[in-house]
Every structure is written in C-alpha cells, then in structure tokens.
Amino acid sequence: MQPAPAISRDAPPEAPSDAPSARQQAVLDAVLALMVEGGDPFTMDAVARRASCSKESLYKWFGDRDGLLTATVRWQASRVHAAREAVDVLDAATLRETLQDFAASWLAVVTSPTSVALNRIAIGHAGSGKSNLGGIVLANGRFAIGARVKPVLEAGRAAGLLAFDDPETAFRTFFGLVGRDIQIRLLLGDAIPLDAGAIRRDAARAVAQFLALYGQPA
Amino acid sequence: MQPAPAISRDAPPEAPSDAPSARQQAVLDAVLALMVEGGDPFTMDAVARRASCSKESLYKWFGDRDGLLTATVRWQASRVHAAREAVDVLDAATLRETLQDFAASWLAVVTSPTSVALNRIAIGHAGSGKSNLGGIVLANGRFAIGARVKPVLEAGRAAGLLAFDDPETAFRTFFGLVGRDIQIRLLLGDAIPLDAGAIRRDAARAVAQFLALYGQPA
DNA sequence: GCAGTACCGTACGGTACGGTACGCCTCCGT
DNA sequence: ACGGAGGCGTACCGTACCGTACGGTACTGC
C-alpha cells in the first residue's frame, strides 16, 4: 500500500466545478440507479443504454470513466447536503433533539442503497490509486457530517451542557455510537433490516449514550 | 440491490474444508502480499508470477478466481483467530483488562494493511453477488469477535460488574466505541497514523467509555 | 531405465470492456 | 429553406484478463 494521500478535513468541498446540465443530471441519476441495482460490473455501455445517450456523449461530458464516477459522487453529495441549519443550542432538550436529528439522518443516508453502492465503488477504487473517489466520499460523508456536528457540540459546551476537551474526539465517539457496525456490515453484504422506526430508536439510544458520556449534570 | 443473503451469526465458520498444503499456503501468502501492495488489479497472471507457479496449478488447486479469493480469506482468518482464551472474569480489573485486550487486538487487525486490502476486495465482490466473500469476512471478523466478546460481557454481568439486557446490543456499542470511524476511513483511502501506542490509548478510552455506560457501581 | 505424476513456464482462445469513429436524425438560428 | 451543431445509435479497435492447452522438467515407484 502506497502512502495514501491525506483527506482534506473540515472543509466540505461543495461543488468545486461547474454544475452538470439537466441532461447530464439525468445521466448521473441513471448511473446511481445502475449502481443501486448492482449486479452489473457497471460498464459504460450499460450507462449509455440506461441513460439513452451515446457513449460518445458520455466521454465528451465526463472525460472518462473516472470522471463519470467522480461526477456521480459529487452529484449525490450535492443532493444529500441539507441546508446548514443555524446553531442555536440553548437548552438540553434542543441539544438532544439536534443531535438525534443528525444521528437519524446520518443513519438514513448510510443505510440507503445509494450510499452503500457508492461507498462500495469508492472503496474498490481506493485500492488502486488513481482519482481518489474515496477522498471525495469521505469529504462529503464522514467529514461533512463532522463539520456540521462539531459546532453543535461546541455550542453545547458553551452552554454548559457538554464537557469535552477536543471536539474532534467527542465527535468521533458520537460517530461510533451512531454507526456501530452498521456500515461495514452493509458494505460486506449483510442485510440489516432498518426501517424508519429502528433508525429513530437507534438515534435516540446513541444520543442518550453520548450524553451519558459527555453531558454535564445541569 | 438484490436481497442480500443473511450472514450466519454467532458461528465462526472455522475451516469448513480441507486445509491447504504448504505449497498452497505459500501461494495464498503471495496473494496476500499482492493484495497489500495494491495498485494491481489482482490478475491471476500476477499471482502465478508472484508465487512462481503456473496458472494451471492455480486453477487445479482453487477452481477459479473466486475460489482463490475465498481460500485466501479463509487462510488469513485462520491465522488471525487467536486461541479462545477461557472466560474467567472475576473482578473489575480483569474485566477491564480483558476488554482492552480485545479492543487493542481488534484495532490492530482492522488497521493492518492486510485487513484493509482483504476487506476492500470483499466489499467490491459484495456488490456483484456471486460467492459471498463478504459473508466470510464478516463471519471471521465482526461476528467472530462478537462471539468471543459476548461471553466476557455475560460473565461480567454474572459477576455483577455490568448491567445490560441484550449482550448483542451491548457488544455493538462496544464495537462502535472501539472502531468509531477508523475502518471506513481506512477503506476509503484515508491515512490514519495509528501506532501501537495510539492503539493502546484508543482501546483504553473505548473500554473506559463502555464501562461508564454499562458498568455497575461495585 | 522407464512409465507416471506433478508442476512450471508460456502461448493461445474467448470475451468483456474502455475508448473512438461514423452515419443519421432533430432542432435551432438566419 | 438551409446549414450547422448537438446528440443518439452502432460499429469498431485495442487491450486486459480469465481460463485452458501444450511442451518441458524434476521426482518417484518399479
């Protein structure tokens, strides 16, 4: 394993280049649909057929296969990013609720077939160097949610509701309590039944555990 | 995504068939070395060249490419499985130490280049059905460690040191506290510096947090 | 010595896939 | 009306790789 490039932390990359046109967005949606359906080795022919466009157009628009994959990852990321809500943590109930929202939405994303398929592709690519999809996925997934949660944690600390030294460390604990073994099991093909109710309960449990570890006794 | 097959829980598969001969073990070690070096798309030619054997022998011994991968996963698993130590949790210090050992060895395994490479291959395969490497990896990784830790947790509960309802749930929390975001970041190509000292500290922190959540006040 | 076996090295067939070229259609501006 | 641009469908090329076949070699039992 060659020394992997470090991932740009803290900074969600947010649309570094031109946004795709409507037609190209349709193509990218077709790519995502193909990925989710799985099974296929994800050939350019399949994309062209599915999107009803010619391969030549694919290569004109996205350069090559990696460009198409990169554009797809960015496209999916642009849709997942919710609006960055204002951080106004005043009391314990608001803090808990905010963290539960983050936990639940993160679980929903991570367990979605789209995320699983995309992460699988990115992980497969991470093995053989060239064009780090993995970096993009990390920046828009793990690090993006970290960048959004940490201000909340710091606001909670400022309000005397939480106690921790390093926001990063606190967030990583939060991340572990929320995700546990879910993502690796899904990536490896295990079928975990997880409906909206289970996600809500999991989020509540994770936040309760996190507050038990980092909460300040009023 | 087709309905993924459920993974056989609780039961570590432990050497379902004949053990490979010495020569075959050498081949499997060559496979692991190739995987760790990465970069290559992992061709059968490369394996034959690296192992100084003919492709014909590869096919005679392992059937096909998937058979070779499966044998490699099993081979690695057979080396990782430490002897199942006896469960004798009597006091809080022993419990803490035992859990820290599990956490540290798990972190060491998960962060090893071999594990990363193997998980990448298995995850890539999990996408396209056929021959679930993912199931084998899960059975020998996540579920094997779970099967080994849960008796410890139950012994701790029997000794009045821990309080929980479901051992599985408690273990999953433990798993999350130990692993956090490490595995997904490594799989996606992020370089996390993690030497033996950091692993020891991480293990101690995770166990301290776990005991804070599930420990009984003496 | 000699058949038999196991295996290495290599060459080969078949196929799948990335990437390119070309014909034709549709739409748009003038 | 008409020329051009953009784009779809398809045919095509080169290459990589899985799986097999074949020649050559070392070793074993008789």
Is B188 within 8 Å of A213 when comparing Cβ atoms?
A: no
The candidate with the shortest Cα–Cα distance to B211, out of B120, B57, B93, is B93
Q: Which chain A residues are within 8 Å of B149, Cβ to Cβ?
A: none
| Minimum-distance residue to D10 (CA–C1') | A54
Q: Does A29 lie in the same domain as A101?
A: no
Report the distance from CA of residue A56 to the C1' of nucleotide C21 in Å, as an integer: 9
Asked if B8 CB < 7 A from strand D, the reply is no
Any domain includes A92? yes
Q: Which of A11, A40, A75 is the last residue of a domain?
A: A75
Give the closest residue to B139 by CA, choosing from A116, A39, A188. Answer: A188
pLDDT in tens, B127-157: 777 778 999 999 999 999 999 999 999 999 9
Say yes or no: A66 and A113 in one domain.
no
Residue type, B99: L
* pLDDT given for residue A2 in this prediction: 40
* Of A80, A102, A200, residue with least CA distance to A151: A102
Looking up residue A69, the CATH number of its domain turns out to be: 1.10.10.60
Same domain assignment for residues A112 and A137: yes
- Same domain for B63 and B124: no
Point out the residue nearest to C22 (C-alpha to C1').
A56
Same domain, A59 and A87: no
Instruction: Name the nt closest to A23 by C-alpha to C1'.
Output: D7
Nearest residue to B134 via CA among B187, B195, B62, B190: B187
Percent of chain A with pLDDT over 90: 67
- Three-state SS for A1? coil
Nearest chain B residue to A174 by CA: give it. B180
Separation between the CA of A115 and the C1’ of D6 (whole angstroms) = 33
Q: What totals of helices (H) and strands (E) does chain A contain, helices first?
A: 11, 0
CA(A160)–C1'(D9) in Å?
A: 65
User: Could you tell me if A128 and A206 lie in one domain?
Assistant: yes
| Sequential DSSP letters for B88-126 | ---SHHHHHHHHHHHHHHHHHHHHSHHHHHHHHHHHHHH
pLDDT for the residue numbered A7: 53
- From B53's Cα to the closest Cα of chain A, the distance in A is 24
Same domain, A91 and A59: no
Question: CATH number for the domain including B107?
Answer: 1.10.357.10
Residues of B in contact with A122 (CB under 8 A): 188
d(CA B92, CA B174): 16
Could you read off the pLDDT of B153-207 as tens digits, one per residue? 999 999 999 999 999 999 999 999 999 999 999 999 999 989 999 999 999 999 9
Query: Is any atom of nucleic acid chain C found less than 7 Å from the CB of residue B114?
Result: no
State which residues form the domain around B185: 87-214
Query: Does A188 contact B127 at a Cβ distance shorter than 8 Å?
Result: no
Number of domains within chain A: 2
- Same domain (yes/no): B125, B40: no
| Residues B143 and B61 occupy one common structural domain | no
- pLDDT reported for residue A5: 47
Per-residue pLDDT tens digits for A24-77: 889 999 999 999 887 777 899 999 999 899 999 999 999 999 999 999 999 888
Cα of A176 to nearest chain B Cα, Å:
4
Nucleotide nearest to B51 (CA to C1'): C8
The alpha-carbon gap from A54 to the nearest alpha carbon of chain B, in Å, equals: 25
Q: Quick check: A188 and B122 CB within 8 A?
A: yes
Question: Considering chain B, what is the average pLDDT of its residues?
Answer: 87
